[in-house]
Chain A
Amino acid sequence: MVQDQEDRNERGEENMVSHNHHIISVRELQKIYRIDRIEVRALNGVSFDIVPGEFVAIMGPSGSGKTTLTNLLGCLDTPTSGQYFLDGEEVSKLKENQLADIRNRKIGFVFQNFHLLPRLSALQNVELPMIYAGIPRHKRHHRAVELLKMVGLGSRIHHRPNQLSGGQNQRVAIARALVNDPAIILADEPTGNLDSLTGEEIMGIFQQLNRMGKTILLITHERDIALHAKCIFHLRDGKLVRIEEVPNPLNAETIIAEIQAQKKKEKEDHEPQ
């Protein structure tokens, strides 16, 4: 009896927060910027739900509210109105310190220009979020090495960002994003600064992570990249205008194989001459 009651209490707490089966739940999200007397509705009532294990691409032309939505989903900014539930927690009304905690524990950021600290080694960069999470040193080290190995940089953990290529830097950034085991990975144009082959490799890592159950939000303006996701949210003028299911997402590994085959063929074509 008592046990039952306790179970119900625990569940009851979760039920108070609606949409507990969604990892992200957004209701009527609005963001209005006021510049002097002019109101800019960067986001004008956006609602959607994302289930765990989803791979969503958010697309839209510039001025569509893409960046604003990214900032809100990343808890870097708070909405003017509306609700945002992340992993069962209402985060739209939280204060600065609490938001910092949410960003630290629940969100893994991957940026277009990597944003690695230049003086730190790959290992130290990956450890950084764990420092702010208060994880002891030896555990940090162990976990960071583990993740760097996972993204294929096990042999370069002591290299600094300027000793690594763009693709390698982005892998470090992905390892850093994963290090606190976040609820979502928020990748903002992660391939924007990479050539197409390296970009595919990065997309391959995201797809692999998604297969392992990670929820991924990818913000991009390139359709070729967005098509790697399972569904695409189209934003326009601050509104979510269309949700497009992708029945057969592009497989990064297949594309890489194709590109390499192409290159090989070109090489062979050149050699007889």
Chain B
Amino acid sequence: MNLNESFRTAFFNLTANKLRSFLTMLGIIIGVAAVVTMTGLGQGMRSQVVGEISSLGSNLLTVIPGRARQGVGSFIRARGSASILKYRYFQELQEMYLPGIQAMTAEVNLFKTITASGENTSTQVVGTTPDYLEIRNFTLQSGRFFNNYDMLHTRKVAVLGNTVAQDLFGEPSQAVGKIIRIGKTNFTVIGVLEPKTTMGQDLGNQVIVPLSTHQQYLGGSHYLGSITIKTVSQEDLDTVAAMVEDFMVRKVGDPDAISILNQNDLIETVENITGTITLFLAAITGISLLVGGIGIMNIMLVSVVERTREIGLRKAIGAKPRDILFQFVIESSLLSIGGGSIGVVLGTLLGKVMVRFSQGTFSLSPGAVALALSISLAVGLFFGIYPARRASKLDPITALRYE
């Protein structure tokens, strides 16, 4: 008897008892659907977070003062962020022209009240260099960004985040050319950024001015909030980080006084966390696969007893033990792989529906689908082999006389 015939026989037997076959598959269906939904949501969450981290700009290193805690999603401000990171260090670092560095920028942040045309708002005022726009992946909606000329002459020009522009002028496009008051100084608006949010954080709620202007009119300090370095490629991140750290430790003296946040590390951390969550969910739902497998075994054992006479007859007319074994193993495998396939479809639908009613994305890799299907096939084979062996070992004489 060839495999093709074994398949036909097995399929025929399963369709002859549709309700039972369906109920037997149900355990596997629920198990696989749960696994698929959970891993899909987990993978979706991961790719979303990783995507958002990358949207802040790619291949970034951030030097911040103090001891940083590794956080997910945002750079957590370190303790003792006071006067450590000097503007001079930034200039020296820039002049070293370290290999692997594409661009770098420095930032000073202060919280200020801004007024314009009778409206006022409180927001972050960022003093930075012209490279900021490119490094942090911002795009302009209207106007222009400040340039080195503005920096050099400490001109009082400002680029508004979209939210700020909207708060002050109602219509962001109206902002360019208007005068705003930051603290006690008047600034001319020269550009407005496109709206941007990352991980629920509104990046449009800031005003960006040249670093030199910030130092002269707003803060008066020569200390920086952070230095951000963009490397040429992702591979350079770790080597550049080491070089920068070396430089900074030499300058500052205390290795604990500064921290370098590596985007690679951040992404890795996120992937680790979401990976663990996904694995955990998969493990829990995997238990239901086990239960489903036991259900299949149970039904197959019943089926062997029910079909004792059939097995006896098949053996009498020439079926070898192997033929009977195949017939039953294929039956249980069809049940489990069928349940697995239905489970994948159902789990995907469920995941998509869940995403619709909540924030998040559902992403299911082909590898995960293949894994779910092969696990269900393995379950069918594993739990089918014992009943099938029992069937194949039946003695035709007693099986034929079985009532």
Which of the segments A130-138, A146-154, A233-241, A243-251 contacts the partner chain?
A: A130-138
Q: Of B2, B13, B315, B400, which one neighbours A100 at CB under 8 angstroms?
A: B315
Q: Give 5 nearest A-B pairs by CB, closest first.
A: A104-B318, A132-B318, A129-B317, A100-B320, A115-B313
Q: Are A128 and B316 in contact (CB under 8 A)?
A: no
Chain B residues at the A interface, C-beta cutoff of 8 Å:
1-2, 5, 9, 12-13, 16, 309-310, 312-323, 396-397, 400
Count residues of A near B (Cβ-Cβ below 8 Å): 24
Give the Cβ gap from A178 to chain B, nearest Cβ, in Å. 12
Beta-carbon contact of A115 and B1 below 8 Å: no
Whether B320 contacts A97 by the Cβ 8 Å rule is yes
Given contacts A115-B312, A132-B314, 5 further A-B contacts (CB under 8 A): A96-B320, A100-B319, A100-B320, A132-B1, A132-B317
Q: How far is the CA of A70 from the CA of B379 in the complex (A)?
A: 42
Question: A116-136 interface mask toward B, CB cutoff 8 Å, 1 = contact, 0 = none?
Answer: 010100000000110111100
Q: Which of B16, B321, B396 contacts A76 (CB 8 A)?
A: B396
Q: Does A105 contact B (CB under 8 A)?
A: yes
Overall SS of chain B's interface = helix
Contact partner, A97, options B2, B313, B314, B321, Cβ 8 Å: B321
Q: Which residues of A contact B5 (CB under 8 A)?
A: 131
The CA-CA distance from A105 to B318 in the complex, in Å, is: 8
> Contacting A132 at CB < 8 Å: which of B16, B310, B323?
B323
Q: Which single residue of chain B is at the shortest CB-CB distance from A186? A: B316
* B16–A131 CB distance below 8 A: no
- In the assembled complex, the Cα of A129 lies from the Cα of B323 at a distance in Å of 12
A14-71 interface with B by 8 A CB criterion: 71
CB neighbours of A180 from chain B (8 A)? 318
Query: A115 touching B318 by the CB < 8 A rule?
Result: no
- A134 contacts across to B, CB distance below 8 A: 1-2
Give the nearest-CB partner of A101 in chain B: B318
Q: Is A96 a contact partner of B321 (Cβ separation < 8 A)?
A: yes
**10 A/B residue pairs, CB under 8 Å, sorted by A:** A76-B397, A97-B321, A101-B318, A103-B315, A103-B316, A109-B317, A115-B309, A132-B318, A132-B323, A176-B317
Expressed in whole angstroms, the Cα–Cα distance for A128 and B318 within the complex equals 9
Which chain A residues border B312 with CB–CB below 8 Å?
A: 115
Complex Cα gap A197–B318 (Å): 32
B248 shortest CB reach to chain A, Å: 78
How far apart sit A101 and B316, CA to CA, in the bound complex (Å)? 10
Residues from chain B with Cβ under 8 Å of A133 in the complex: 318
Q: CB within 8 A of B310: which of A101, A117, A131, A176?
A: A117
Residues of A within 8 A of B318 (CB): 100-101, 103-105, 129, 132-133, 180
A84 contacts the other chain (CB 8 A): no
Bound-state CA distance A101–B322 (Å) is 12
Q: How far is the CB of B246 from chain A (nearest CB, A)?
A: 75
Min Cβ gap B134→A in Å is 70
Give the nearest-CB partner of B15 in chain A: A119
Interface assignment of A77: CB less than 8 Å from any CB of chain B? yes
Set of chain B residues within 8 Å of A117, measured between Cβ atoms: 310, 313
**In whole angstroms, how far apart are the Cα atoms of A226 and B207 in the complex?**
111
